[in-house]
Chain A
Amino acid sequence: MSNILECVHLTKKYGHNIALNDVSVSIPSGKIVGLLGPNGSGKTTLIKLIAGLLVPNGGELYINGSKPGPETKAIISYLPERPYFDPSMRICEMLDFFADFYADFDMERAVKMLSDLGISQDAKMKTLSKGTKEKVQLVLVMSRRAKLYLLDEPIAGVDPAARDYIMRTILTNYGEDSTILISTHLITDIEKVLDEYIFISNGNIFRQGTVDDVRTEEGKSLDELFREVFRC
């Protein structure tokens, strides 16, 4: 199977701070991959580099064989760590916005998901709670038929019941050949949907593998392994 993402000796610095240190990693297509690490380990930086929002200081990355640019942005659906819509926008306006911006946006799917979640299209962003805003944003992102989904902390602010719905949403909507990279530290909630995991710490990727192997070889869940490896 081909790799949707290849990072080669990727380095990113913010001033003297090294956020990513010589990271080489590849992600195969058709998998759900967890990007896991403690706060400040470089998860968001890596995701922003892949999304093309940051430019690396060293190294290269290829998405579906191409360097970040308009053609890679067209196949990447990115959920940022915080919502970016103007607070005065109505949800229906955001739907039009996405439909206009992305050729792969599936309006029908988005409308159905919003009604499943009981969210009115007339509502303005600023009238919504933190969790509902996150749901809206995730609905938009998952309604694209993208090749690579980058979900930065998709479930952090929502209640456990909605978390389950979101996990189901992710499972229902991702196509056979699409890949999902999810960053989170709520591992228990997403563990059962992951194929692979990447552990990142202090800007270095130090462990990558399949969740099944962790359970087979270590006799413990990914959550338990994480707690052990990153013990404070």
Chain B
Amino acid sequence: MEIRFESGKPIFLQIEEHLRNYIASGRFKPDEKLPGVRELALQANVNPNTMQKALTNLEAEGLIITRGTSGKFVCGDSQIIENAKKRIIEDLAAEFREKCHLIGVSPHDVAMLLSNDHNTESEDTNE
């Protein structure tokens, strides 16, 4: 897990986002067992306390579940994962709108561009 940390944001939040994306995208599968906190911390090159903080928050969200002594698992509830995905998309859209506002273009115009891209892409191979 290589994370390029941004400067102005707490590291545990950035890890949290990363892990949430992994779960939402299916890179971490539902019901999959997660490596231990120390192992994860090592993979991300961060302090175990920081990793623990991120995991605790994801647990509060329901995306991660602790099963007794057998460790932490990705949640198996597809509804919770769908909700997380929805929130990620909403955040992305909010950021997008903000950026458009900053440079004074209409989000709609950019969206048109995106859907054109999408059309040309689908003519190519499905990679």
Contact = CB atoms under 8 A, between A and B. Distances in A.
Contact of B46 (A193, A219, A220): A193
Nearest to A32: B47
B1 interface: no
Interface stretch (A4-12, A16-24, A36-44, A166-174): A166-174
A67 to B, nearest CB: 29
A96 interface: no
A113 to B, nearest CB: 14
Contact size class for A?
Answer: 20 to 34
Interface in A168-188: 168, 171-172, 176
Interface in A192-229: 192-195, 211-212, 215-216, 219-221, 223-224
A30 B47 CA distance: 11
Given A168-B42, A171-B41, A212 B48 contact: no
Contacts of B48: 171, 176
A194 B10 CA distance: 12
A171 B49 contact: no
Given A192-B5, A195-B50, A212 B45 contact: no
A81 interface: no
Contacts of A192: 5, 11, 45-47, 50
A30 B45 CA distance: 17
Contacts of A221: 7-8
B27 interface: no
Contact of B11 (A167, A171, A176, A212): A212
Given A31-B49, A171-B45, A223 B7 contact: yes
B71 to A, nearest CB: 16
Contacts of A71: none
B28 interface: no
A175 B121 CA distance: 51
Contact of A193 (B7, B10, B45, B53): B45
A164 interface: yes
Interface string B8-51: 11111000000000000000000000000010011001111110
B45 A167 contact: yes
Nearest to A224: B7
B9 A215 contact: yes
Contacts of A194: 47
Interface of B: 5, 7-12, 38, 41-42, 45-50, 53
22 contacts: A164-B45, A168-B45, A171-B38, A171-B45, A171-B47, A192-B11, A192-B46, A192-B47, A192-B50, A195-B47, A195-B49, A211-B10, A211-B11, A212-B10, A212-B11, A212-B50, A212-B53, A216-B10, A220-B8, A221-B8, A223-B7, A224-B7
Given A194-B47, A195-B50, 10 more contacts: A30-B49, A31-B49, A32-B47, A167-B45, A168-B42, A172-B42, A176-B48, A192-B5, A212-B11, A215-B7
Interface of A: 30-32, 164, 167-168, 171-172, 176, 192-195, 211-212, 215-216, 219-221, 223-224
**In the A-B complex, the 3 residue pairs with the closest CB atoms:** A221-B7, A212-B10, A219-B8
